[in-house]
A and B are shown apart, each in its own frame.
Chain A
């Protein structure tokens, strides 16, 4: 990080950030990614691979973790910090096989009665020819559909970019939380401005009116909790936020331990039915 950026970030701490500034923070290369949260929150983690159909998509990581003595399944989009890493991570833009891997792990979690925790951080599902050929739409749709029936509690946490359907495919949860500087949107502000105003340069203006910040989405009832960031969370300073998240996750697991499978499914249904 350069010195001027450091100064800039110090300044950002002191005042309320605009939606457009949050968009930049959510996309920042220093932002804490899924793997950082996994490392800091859970006591153990074993990564599992593959969709059993085509290949292992590196833009989604998943596996079995434990927290406070309870086993859970953890799944999330994983971005790379540099070009080399992104050859594998594809900038956190999953292919259909990534979503199919996620669904396989969720079904596995359900079978062995492990709650599911998803970390959402993607600019969107990958929009390439090969992704289309292998049914990107179908893969996302299938996740929405199957998640609706999963009989263990699901918690989704938007940690960075919540990019549209590609994010929602890990987001049909009993509760959805958002980091204070994360965003969750129907498409990028640039895309929004170019479609509705034929001018992608008005992205900043679009970000302000799209209601994509954590506090706005809490008001709209799209998320249950906003996780406070003292300063924009990075892979270096994430311990504090992760400690707080760990406590909240333990509470979440406790709260759902007393519920029947039917209640868990029905409450999730009603959560999304209200929109």
Chain B
């Protein structure tokens, strides 16, 4: 009713109204279809646009809220301090600003939680924190999570999302690829399950390490997933990429991932995969009969 009023003046009023509502968070604008949508509807639909089905980026806490049993999350290694191995100018300041803007200490949140009572180590990367780039702290938090999971006999679920390496940390950033991958190898050698979930965008060093190492690799619909970014490829081959190149659907078709899973079904799918890999509400292999 509110939006049906006509005339230039009333349009202005409506625009102002929208702006106000947007800032108050009651409504939000979908970046894909440009529709103004109710935030409440968006949240109810697991951060998917009720109009066009676009997947909004979510914060790690929102993500954890969507897949874990409520109240089951225990965060690990929250306060590791970012280092500046290249003494890159203004890097500490940039990190401090990011921390303030996002409320996160780095580009990944790790810990443990439960899905349908089954305990699991879980990590979620954030695109909002320096494009989810992998520096020493991201690598260290993921490595500690995996090592702890190995010790405790827990599976690992990792929601990936990254623009690639943390340039400001130079070669120390590159080394995180080896560090995290070898931790996953040891985890796997003890018979534990690792599920990686690729979300928009997963590229660069993260794709070339833990993102592609899952026993099971899931992806969200339409997520951009690749080693080189689309622009780098276009510059290399001097031509435009076809529509949908490096989308989750493209990777599925080319045999690179197991399954595309909607947000709505993610928790159920994860539960099924944990259960079918031998994990139970009381830990692996300790199922009670009857």
Q: Could you list which residues of chain A lie within 8 angstroms of chain B, going by C-beta atoms?
A: 125-129, 131-138, 140-142, 144-146, 148-149, 164-165, 168-169, 171-172, 184-187, 192, 195-196, 209-212, 217, 220, 222, 268-269, 272-273, 275
In the assembled complex, the CB of A154 is this many whole angstroms from the nearest CB of chain B, namely 12
The reply on B172 being an interface residue by CB < 8 A is yes
Whether B181 pairs with A145 at a CB distance below 8 angstroms is yes
How far apart are the CA atoms of A273 and B147 in the complex, in Å?
11
Whether B228 pairs with A127 at a CB distance below 8 angstroms is yes
27 contacts between A and B (CB under 8 A): A126-B236, A127-B227, A128-B236, A129-B241, A129-B245, A131-B227, A132-B227, A132-B228, A135-B212, A140-B209, A141-B213, A144-B177, A144-B178, A145-B184, A148-B178, A165-B208, A165-B227, A192-B167, A210-B170, A211-B85, A211-B171, A222-B171, A222-B175, A269-B186, A272-B179, A273-B143, A275-B178
Whether B171 pairs with A212 at a CB distance below 8 angstroms is yes
Closest 8 CB pairs of A and B: A148-B182, A137-B207, A127-B228, A137-B227, A275-B175, A144-B181, A140-B208, A136-B227
How far apart are the CA atoms of A210 and B211 in the complex, in Å?
26
Whether A168 pairs with B177 at a CB distance below 8 angstroms is yes
The reply on B272 being an interface residue by CB < 8 A is no
**In the complex, chain B residues whose CB is within 8 Å of the CB of A184:** 171
Whether B184 pairs with A138 at a CB distance below 8 angstroms is no
**In the complex, chain B residues whose CB is within 8 Å of the CB of A187:** 165, 167
Q: Which residue of A lies closest to B242 (CB)?
A: A129
How far apart are the CA atoms of A134 and B255 in the complex, in Å?
9
**In the complex, chain B residues whose CB is within 8 Å of the CB of A133:** 254
Q: Which residue of A lies closest to B209 (CB)?
A: A141
How far apart are the CA atoms of A209 and B143 in the complex, in Å?
27
Q: Which residue of A lies closest to B185 (CB)?
A: A148
**In the complex, chain A residues whose CB is within 8 Å of the CB of B181:** 141, 144-145, 148, 172
Interface residues of B in 161-195 (CB under 8 A from A): 165, 167-179, 181-186, 189
Whether A149 pairs with B185 at a CB distance below 8 angstroms is yes
**In the complex, chain B residues whose CB is within 8 Å of the CB of A132:** 226-228, 233, 245-246
The reply on B88 being an interface residue by CB < 8 A is yes
User: Among A126, A129, A149, A196, which residue has the most Cβ atoms of chain B within 10 A?
Assistant: A129
How far apart are the CA atoms of A187 and B86 in the complex, in Å?
14
Q: Which residue of A lies closest to B254 (CB)?
A: A133
In the assembled complex, the CB of A165 is this many whole angstroms from the nearest CB of chain B, namely 4
Interface string of B216-243 (1 = CB under 8 A from A): 0000000000111000110011000100
How far apart are the CA atoms of A172 and B182 in the complex, in Å?
9
**In the complex, chain A residues whose CB is within 8 Å of the CB of B205:** 164-165
Contact of B165 among A128, A140, A145, A186 (CB under 8 A): A186
**In the complex, chain B residues whose CB is within 8 Å of the CB of A141:** 177, 181, 207-213
**In the complex, chain A residues whose CB is within 8 Å of the CB of B154:** none
The reply on B139 being an interface residue by CB < 8 A is yes
How far apart are the CA atoms of A125 and B184 in the complex, in Å?
23
The reply on B260 being an interface residue by CB < 8 A is no
How far apart are the CA atoms of A33 and B236 in the complex, in Å?
23
Whether B182 pairs with A128 at a CB distance below 8 angstroms is no
How far apart are the CA atoms of A217 and B174 in the complex, in Å?
12
Whether A209 pairs with B237 at a CB distance below 8 angstroms is no
Whether B174 pairs with A165 at a CB distance below 8 angstroms is yes
The reply on B121 being an interface residue by CB < 8 A is no
Q: Which residue of A lies closest to B180 (CB)?
A: A144
**In the complex, chain B residues whose CB is within 8 Å of the CB of A144:** 177-178, 181-182, 208-209
Interface string of B56-92 (1 = CB under 8 A from A): 0000000000000000000000000000011010000
**In the complex, chain B residues whose CB is within 8 Å of the CB of A126:** 236
The reply on B136 being an interface residue by CB < 8 A is yes
Contact of B226 among A137, A186, A268, A272 (CB under 8 A): A137
**In the complex, chain A residues whose CB is within 8 Å of the CB of B52:** none
How far apart are the CA atoms of A210 and B168 in the complex, in Å?
8
**In the complex, chain A residues whose CB is within 8 Å of the CB of B226:** 132, 137
Whether A136 pairs with B167 at a CB distance below 8 angstroms is no
Q: Which residue of A lies closest to B87 (CB)?
A: A209
Q: Which residue of A lies closest to B230 (CB)?
A: A132
Whether B212 pairs with A137 at a CB distance below 8 angstroms is yes
The reply on B256 being an interface residue by CB < 8 A is yes
Contact of B208 among A136, A172, A209, A269 (CB under 8 A): A136
**In the complex, chain B residues whose CB is within 8 Å of the CB of A131:** 227-228
Q: Which residue of B lies closest to A195 (CB)?
A: B167
